[in-house]
Amino acid sequence: MRTVIAGTGFYVPDRVVTNEELTRYMDTSDEWIVERSGIRERRWVDEGMSGADMARRASLMALEEAGLEPGAVEAIVLATLSPDHFFPGTGVFLQKELGLPGIPALDVRTQCTGFLYGMSVADAWIRTGQHKTVLLVGVEIHSTGLDLTTRGRDISVLFGDGAGAVVLTADDDGERGILSTHLHADGRYAEVLWAEFASSKHHPRITRELMDEGRHYPRMQGKEVFKHAIVRMPEAVQEALTANGLTVADLDLLIPHQANLRITQMVQRRLGLSEDQVVSNIDRYGNTTAATIPIALAESVRGGRLERGNLLCLVAFGSGFTWGSALVRW
Ligand code: UT7
């Protein structure tokens, strides 16, 4: 029994925010952003749009592609670092929107690697026969939590909003499906990319003074993250290939987490892949964290970049640090 990706879907908000628009809020430039990250524009939600709304739209697209009604979903796994509320998780709000009371809804909190952690759990549920059909979603609303002053420019120019979803189903044809998933974390680096406040370690969880200092905004030591990402991502791809007795020569398509075009290019070169074997859409969406991989996957399917029998690798690295990979026979 294998887990197959039966449908893919994505949703990004209509509002396009160009680099030029960001220059109106902070001291930055289109040139700096494009040169350092490859990002040209990103999407931001309009007031009132929730993560659950975006997740529902992406999920319905994935269900349609799979030829399934929402009622076929037996479990929801939702990855996000920007939940609609401190609790409960966005997964149950998505469940409510889809009208699926009673089934389990699990939120995953492993940031940029959240979609792959979620895939690993869903794959285990399916292979052990616990659930036949799992809806897996990555969704992020960054725009409401960014420091749009010059103080926050190193981070705020990078992130965007969006959602991506896949429908995972059981299949016993023996060829297709998820071959393996490989997950890692190293909490020694937890504070290298994090949002320190609001924090339940403190009473109150946030104060006006802390907000004035911008301590509720995400903070990142960018170079440190970069340095680890370009080592861990190729490593995780190799790990997945080796575990299946395969090599880079067998790989048809790599979908890396979209954090920075320079990271993607370095991963591509380190693995000896050609440019057209590695998916990049960061120029249009920026970094949508848990949503980058499923959005890129849904676009790859629609762009005809995957054919039955292709070997696909998904790989991510990010806050935690967390990183991982998944190998899929399409
Ligand atoms: O998905 C989560 C994982 N995240 C990542 O993988 C991100 C990894 N890191 C990166 O992508 C890069 O480190 C960044 C894109 C964040 C930054 O690029 P960098 O080449 O490492 O730049 P830097 O942080 O060393 O900054 C260079 C200069 C600094 O000025 P000084 O000190 O040289 O005068 C910054 O203050 O660029 C300045 N700077 C900016 N200038 C214009 C930082 N942000 C901006 C900005 N616009 N938005």
Residue 186 DSSP SS3: coil
- Ligand 1 proximity of 153 Cβ (cutoff 6 Å): yes
How is residue 18 written in tokens?
């160009």
131 part of the active site: no
Q: Is the pLDDT score of 321 beyond 90?
A: yes
Q: What's the rounded Cα separation, in Å, for the pair 120 and 140?
A: 20
Structure confidence at residue 58 (pLDDT): 99
Bridge partner residues of 317 (DSSP): 323
Do 228 and 249 fall into the same domain? yes
Q: Minimal CA–CA distance to 114: which of 317, 263, 303?
A: 317
Structure confidence at residue 23 (pLDDT): 98
Which among 171, 190, 224 is the end of a domain?
171
Tell me what the mean pLDDT of segment 118-122 comes to.
99
Q: What's the rounded Cα separation, in Å, for the pair 44 and 308?
A: 34
Per the structure, how many domains does the chain have?
A: 2
CB-based contact 174:309 (threshold 8 Å): no
C-alpha of residue 222 to centroid of ligand 1, in Å: 6
Do 185 and 313 fall into the same domain? yes
- Ligand 1 proximity of 287 Cβ (cutoff 6 Å): yes
Taking CA 311 as the corner, what is the angle to CA 118 and CA 245, rounded to the nearest 5 degrees? 90
How is residue 83 written in tokens?
């939940």
For 205-231, how does the pLDDT look when each residue is reduced to its tens digit (9 = 90+)? 999 999 999 999 999 999 999 999 999
287 part of the active site: yes
Domain range for 74: 2-171
Q: Given its phi and psi angles, is residue 14 left (phi above 0), alpha (psi -120 to 50 degrees) or beta? A: alpha
Taking CA 4 as the corner, what is the angle to CA 160 and CA 234, rounded to the nearest 5 degrees? 55
C-alpha of residue 205 to centroid of ligand 1, in Å: 29
Structure confidence at residue 174 (pLDDT): 81
Q: What CA–CA distances, in Å, run from 275 to 143, 264, 271?
A: 30, 10, 11
Which among 153, 171, 189 is the end of a domain?
171
- Ligand 1 proximity of 36 Cβ (cutoff 6 Å): yes
Angle (deg, nearest 10), helices 222-243 and 261-271:
40
- Ligand 1 proximity of 192 Cβ (cutoff 6 Å): no
Do 27 and 44 fall into the same domain? yes
C-alpha of residue 18 to centroid of ligand 1, in Å: 18
CATH of the domain at 200: 3.40.47.10
How is residue 294 written in tokens?
């499923």
- Ligand 1 proximity of 112 Cβ (cutoff 6 Å): yes
For 271-304, how does the pLDDT look when each residue is reduced to its tens digit (9 = 90+)? 999 999 999 999 999 999 999 999 999 999 999 9
Which among 132, 154, 171 is the end of a domain?
171
Do 186 and 57 fall into the same domain? no
Do 181 and 321 fall into the same domain? yes
Do 209 and 130 fall into the same domain? no
Task: Give the position, in ligand 1's atom list, of the atom nearest the Cα of 262.
Answer: 11
Do 205 and 298 fall into the same domain? yes
Mutate to test the pocket of ligand 1, among 25, 35, 36 (most ligand atoms within 8 A of CB): 36
Do 181 and 141 fall into the same domain? no
Catalytic site residue from 131, 182, 257, 260:
257
Task: Give the position, in ligand 1's atom list, of the atom nearest the Cα of 112.
Answer: 1
Do 294 and 314 fall into the same domain? yes
Do 122 and 233 fall into the same domain? no
Tell me what the mean pLDDT of segment 157-161 comes to.
98
- Ligand 1 proximity of 322 Cβ (cutoff 6 Å): no
112 part of the active site: yes
Q: What's the rounded Cα separation, in Å, for the pair 180 and 168?
A: 14
Angle (deg, nearest 10), helices 261-271 and 30-37:
20
For 237-273, how does the pLDDT look when each residue is reduced to its tens digit (9 = 90+)? 999 999 999 999 999 999 999 999 999 999 999 999 9
Pick the residue whose CA is nearest to atom 40 on ligand 1.
154
CB-based contact 316:113 (threshold 8 Å): yes
Tell me what the mean pLDDT of segment 309-324 comes to.
98
C-alpha of residue 211 to centroid of ligand 1, in Å: 23
Do 21 and 158 fall into the same domain? yes
pLDDT interval class at 173 (50, 70, 90): confident
Do 150 and 288 fall into the same domain? no
- Ligand 1 proximity of 110 Cβ (cutoff 6 Å): no
Residues 6+ positions from 126 with CB-CB distance below 8 Å: 1, 3, 132, 134, 168, 169, 170
C-alpha of residue 15 to centroid of ligand 1, in Å: 25
